[in-house]
Amino acid sequence: MPSDLPVRALVGAGLILLAALALWSGGLLFWLVLVIVALLMMGEWANLAHASENSRRLGQFALSVPLAIMAPPWLAAGPGFFALGLIGGAAFFTAIATRRAVLGAGIVYVGLPILALLWLRQRDDGLLLAFWAMALVWACDIGAYFAGRSLGGAKLAPAISPNKTWAGLFGGVVATAFFAAILFRFGLPLHLTIATPLLAVTAQMGDLFESWLKRRAGVKDSGDLLPGHGGFLDRLDGLVPVAPIAALLVLLPEVVR
């Protein structure tokens, strides 16, 4: 076991506790926590892109506009199509103003999962759905970590992330399948239960994408705010692609009716 495991476990438990508290509270607290995390993630994205300080701040400022609109409906418009349009507008503005398309892409990369999580939480069954979207990534990470450490074996993508194995991917999928089966007994719809193992694969792909970004940037971690974990991009890389897809899966039955 690596020597930083106790630190990783302690920080990870603290983050899960904070996320659970904000998720349970919903409303203003959930929005506020996600806004802070999003702005920190945008700063890390800009650092990975080797952007100037002014460009980083501009990107964070542009992102703050759709984030503000996503505030609870008694304060603003809330998470919806208007906020989605503002994410696109903020991305376009940032890319043009900084002449760095990658910073515009960062607005979308950070903004979409925040919108998705807030939209899921505001639904009638939002506590269950938002918890499902977030916790399936935690279950995947835990299953992948221990399966990869215990079984080892062939590398998943050695050129991008040398520590990831096929055994770890399998462990993550199995862990999320068990997790979804438990939530099914608490009311998780069947189509979401069935889709959960596939979302575990999506989470792993998100992890690999962020590893590729760090390799391109020539850094080990996206930041140093979280001891044992690196930055917020490092910790939430799996959730970034999972949250929007989870929201689409929830929306799909309503669209096809």
Judge whether 133 and 114 are in contact, CB under 8 Å. no
Take residue 233 and report the two structure tokens written for it.
Answer: 């991009």
- Residue tagged 């993630």 (tokens): 41
DSSP code for 227: T
Which pTM does this prediction carry?
A: 0.93
Task: List the pLDDT tens digit at each of the 257 positions of the chain.
Answer: 445 667 777 887 888 899 999 999 999 999 999 999 999 999 999 999 999 999 999 999 999 999 999 999 889 999 999 999 999 999 999 999 999 999 999 999 999 999 999 999 999 999 999 999 999 999 999 999 888 888 877 888 888 888 888 998 999 999 999 999 999 999 999 999 999 999 999 999 999 999 999 999 999 889 888 877 789 999 999 999 999 999 999 998 887 76
- Residue tagged 């862990």 (tokens): 175
The distance from CA 226 to its chain's CA centroid, rounded to whole angstroms, is 15
Judge whether 129 and 120 are in contact, CB under 8 Å. yes
Contacts of 8 (CB under 8 A, 6+ apart): 228, 229
